[in-house]
Structure 1
Amino acid sequence: MSDSTARAHSPGTSRSTSATIPPNILRSLAGVVADGYGVDLQPELTGVGLHEAVMSSAALRVSYRQGSAVIRRAVELTGDAHLGLRVGAAQHLTAWGLLGFALMAAATLRDAIETGVRFQNLSGAMVGWRAGAQDAGYVLRAELPDPALDPAVGVFLAEEAFGSVVTLTRLSSGAEFAPQSVEFTFPAPRDTRPFTELFRCPVRFAADENRLVFPAAWARRPMPGRDPVTYAAVLELLEGQMVSRRDQQDLLEVLEISIAQSLPNVPSFVEQARRHASSERTLRRRLAECGTTYEAVVDGVRRERVEQLLRRPELTMRDIARQAGFSDVRALRRAVHRWHGVAPLQLRAREERLDG
């Protein structure tokens, strides 16, 4: 089998602190856990810098690190092992903005799938999508952004990914849709009924990859809302958004690398503007267009560095504070508590258990 459409920019190739992902999953997640479990996720969102006013902004972008932290806490707070399925089933096309309209206006379901894969970086996807034809039908694959991802977050993302695909296909193409088969890489849960109830097809666990097979007849099926003129017009707008997004991601990655290479000293904002031949006002505006600030970028890089250093048992808290650019151990403790809700030693112990 050869993939007819590949990822435009793999999430695995970008630094996990870059805030470049539309927060569609987090918004849907917050609504599901509030309505279904009475859990308010805003404290968790605020804890990673996503304050209530910020979450309502259409320009907001989040990082994989922010998204993973909120997802991990949501699974813990609800105790729902199938939370990803429920969030996927709550998705709707209009939450994807222009991309949602492009999918509805595509000629066939296969065209819609390939359009979604082509512009996946605008959809808020937190997995990497690949699609292609094979003898059994049309296959959609979902790849996790990081092999070392927290297992609970990985399960959530895989469930949400295929849950949303099936839900959106039924909304746009026909409520009777069912995949030919669905496969997940994680082990089978004790109760598999939520999977068979949602997908209405054979579901396999502990597979080599996460994949969903569309029956060939469904892949060829015309979309009810197909409109070639609208489709072409929306694609032109999406291409413009992709160029803008690449520029934003490039800026964030360059800043993050600059900060990471300078630690424990953090370059001032004035110095960063000078390095990038930009005025402070222009650099501040460009970061605002990315939905972030220089302080938030610095915080993300420091967080990543601290988490790396905590995995080295020979380092003391004083060593870690100094190498990550904190004034003292107390400042380190405050930052780790803000990021994770625990003390540095507790976080180190938790990481050791996960590594073991």
Structure 2
Amino acid sequence: MGPMIRAASLRGFAPLVRELGGDPEAFLRRFHIPASATESDDGLIDITAHDLMLDTVARELDCPDLGLRLAVAQDLTILGPLALAIESASTVAEALACASRFMFVHSPALSIGVEPDPRGWEGVIALTYRKDLLESPYSPQAMELGIGLFHQAALTLLGGRAGLRSVELPHRPLSPMGRYADFFGVDVRFGAPVAALRVERRMLDASFAGADDEIRRVALDHLARHYPDPATRVSVQVRRVLAQALGLTEAAPTLASTARLLALHPRTLQRRLAEEGTSHAAVLDQVRRDAATTFLTTTDLPMAQVAALLGFSEQSALSHAVRRWHGASPRQVRTAAEPR
């Protein structure tokens, strides 16, 4: 199983799609997201499918600001148990440290952090929002949903836009500039190295009226006990190694080559993967599946090249694998993702 995201990220999706004249259930089926997964905020869905669906809905229903609209329908509570720890923090710095430490509870492919100002301004810092592109491809709509929600959460916690200097986005504008100005209320810069909210450094010391050390301690203890960091799992480490290795050689990565990169004996790696209920072949299959979905739905690469990038010796092997993953041919998967 590849990286997931809490189904709460689709809160407001169904009514918005219906408002736009679309069929939310049809889109969920198309991207192999079970409707039952969205019946509870705690459900988990494949983040690549989630993001590709948002981009497709925005394109096909002519709604370039889909991500921003979804952000309006959501709030900090989509983070589940993490939200309580954030809301009970004493300061902005404390809340950000908590969110940074446990963001994997919402999705292990997403992270937030505090970094130097990308423009180099004195007294300004960047509150960054990143997606690990080794885990899942970049999605403009999902990025606008994430940074839009990050922005709204910051306003709620701080009680206004005081201290916010600008918003940075890596992609080009999806909507007219006026839409961004209305939503964020500050300058928005596109083509930035990383998505971020640029704020005055002094805001890190701002205190929250709802601070409660006891609630925060209990919330953090609950998170630490029930949500172990997935980065410590050897299967996650193997997934990252395999994602980086695909396309670098003609042959698929082997158990021995992966073990060597992780400084483990092959038998040790095999045993530790078995303890986590998986195997090298299973993780490789997941990585290939996610990469194939990305290549087929977001690029026009020839099928032979896609097969080579995935480490398949023949194009027919790609076809067999895609039929097993999606119940359709590679060309059918590509066609289904095209605008209608």
TM-score higher than 0.5: yes
Counterpart of 1:74 (choices 34, 42, 57) is 57
8 Å contact kept, 1:32–1:90: no
2:91–2:208: 8 Å Cα contact kept in structure 1? yes
Q: Say yes or no: does 1:131 pair with 2:118.
A: no
Q: Please tell me whether residue 49 in structure 1 is matched to residue 32 in structure 2.
A: yes
* Aligned match of 1:215: 200
Post-superposition CA distance 1:146-181 (Å, at most 9, x none) = 29987xx63223322221112112333314556221
Superposition TM-score, scaled by structure 1 size: 0.67
Question: CA 1:315 to 1:158, structure 2 compared with 1: closer, same or farther past 3 Å?
Answer: closer
Residue 136 and residue 261 in structure 1: after superposition, are their counterparts in 2 closer, same or farther (change >3 A)?
same
CA distance in structure 2 between the aligned counterparts of 1:331 and 1:246, rounded to whole angstroms: 26
Q: What is the count of residue pairs matched by the alignment? A: 305
1:1-356 aligned at under 5 Å gives the runs 18-25=2-9, 27-28=10-11, 30-31=13-14, 33-34=16-17, 36-57=19-40, 59-124=42-107, 127-132=110-115, 135-146=122-133, 154-175=139-160, 177=162, 179-188=164-173, 191-243=176-228, 245-246=230-231, 250-251=234-235, 301-302=288-289, 304-305=291-292, 311-312=301-302, 314=304, 322-324=316-318, 326=320, 334-336=328-330, 339-342=333-336
Aligned with 1:324: secondary structure?
Answer: helix
Aligned 8 A contact 1:109 1:222 in 2: yes
Query: How far apart are residue 123 of structure 1 and its match?
Result: 2.5
Q: Which one-letter code corresponds to 2:318 in the other structure?
A: A
Identity score, percent: 15
Call closer, same or farther: CA 1:181–1:306 in 2, change over 3 Å. Answer: closer
Q: C-alpha separation between the residues in 1 aligned to 2:253 and 2:155?
A: 48
Q: Which residue of 2 aligns with 1:7?
A: none
Deviations along 1:110-144, whole A, 9 cap, x unmatched? 22122112211112475442214663333212334
Q: Closer, same or farther in 2 for the Cα pair 1:79/1:133, shift >3 Å?
A: same
Distance change >3 Å, CA 62–CA 177, structure 1 → 2:
farther
| Structure 1: distance between partners of 2:130 and 2:37 | 29
Whichever structure has more strand as a proportion of its residues is: 2
Provide structure 1 residue ranges, at least 5 long, that are not aligned to the other structure. 1-16, 263-274, 288-293, 348-356
2: CA distance, partners of 1:48 / 1:296: 21
Unaligned runs of 5+ in 2: 243-251, 255-269
User: In the alignment, is the contact (CA less than 8 A) between 2:169 and 2:189 conserved in 1?
Assistant: yes
Q: Relative to 1, partners in 2 of residues 1:331 and 1:227: Cα closer, same or farther, differing over 3 Å?
A: closer
Where 2:74 maps in the other structure, the secondary structure is coil
User: Does the CA contact (< 8 Å) of 2:65 and 2:175 recur in 1?
Assistant: no
Task: Report what 1:350 is aligned to.
Answer: none
Question: What secondary structure, in the 3-state scheme, does the structure 1 residue paired with 2:112 have?
Answer: strand
Partner SS, residue 180 of structure 1? strand
Where relative contact order (Cα < 8 A, 6+ residues apart) is larger, the structure is 1
Alpha-carbon spacing, 1:330–1:49, altered in 2? closer, same or farther (3 Å): closer
| Aligned-residue offset at 1:105 | 0.3
Instruction: Return the alpha-carbon distance in structure 2 between the equivalents of residues 252 and 133 of structure 1.
Output: 29
Length-normalised TM-score, structure 2 = 0.70
